A = this chain, B = another copy of it.
Amino acid sequence: MIRLDTQDAGFAAAFGELVDARRESDADVARDVQVILRAVRDDGEAAVAAFTKQFDGHDLSETGWRIEPADCRAAYEALEPELRAALDLAAARIRAYHEKQKPTDSDYFDGQGVRLGARWTAVDAAGIYVPGGRAAYPSSLLMNAIPAKVAGVERLVMVTPTPKGEINHLVLAAAHLAGVDEVWRVGGAQAIGALAYGAGRIQRVDVVTGPGNAWVAEAKRQVYGMVGIDMVAGPSEIVVVADGRNDPDWIAADLLSQAEHDTVTQSILFTDDADFAERVAEAVDRQIPELATASVARTAWDANGAIIVVDSLEAAMPLVDRLAPEHLELAVDDPQGLFDRVRHAGSVFLGRHTPEAIGDYVAGPNHVLPTGRRARFASGLSVLDFMKRTSFLGLTETALNELGPATVALAHAEGLPAHAKSVALRLRLNR
Contact = CB atoms under 8 A, between A and B. Distances in A.
A279 interface: no
Nearest to A342: B390
Interface in A383-426: 384, 388-397, 399-400, 403-407, 409-411, 413-423, 425-426
B393 A347 contact: yes
B377 A293 contact: no
B409 A293 contact: no
B97 A257 contact: no
Contact of A409 (B82, B353, B378): B82
22 contacts: A86-B407, A114-B363, A139-B410, A207-B377, A225-B231, A225-B232, A259-B418, A293-B417, A335-B394, A347-B392, A350-B392, A353-B395, A353-B396, A354-B393, A354-B394, A355-B422, A355-B423, A357-B423, A361-B407, A362-B403, A362-B407, A370-B388
Interface of A: 82-83, 85-87, 89-90, 93, 96-97, 100-101, 106, 110, 114-116, 118, 121, 123-124, 134, 137-139, 170, 206-207, 221, 224-225, 227-228, 231-232, 247, 249-250, 253-254, 256-257, 259-261, 287, 290-293, 297, 335, 339, 342-366, 369-370, 374-380, 382, 384, 388-397, 399-400, 403-407, 409-411, 413-423, 425-426
Given A247-B425, A256-B422, A380-B389, 9 more contacts: A89-B403, A123-B377, A124-B376, A254-B422, A287-B421, A355-B423, A357-B419, A358-B403, A366-B391
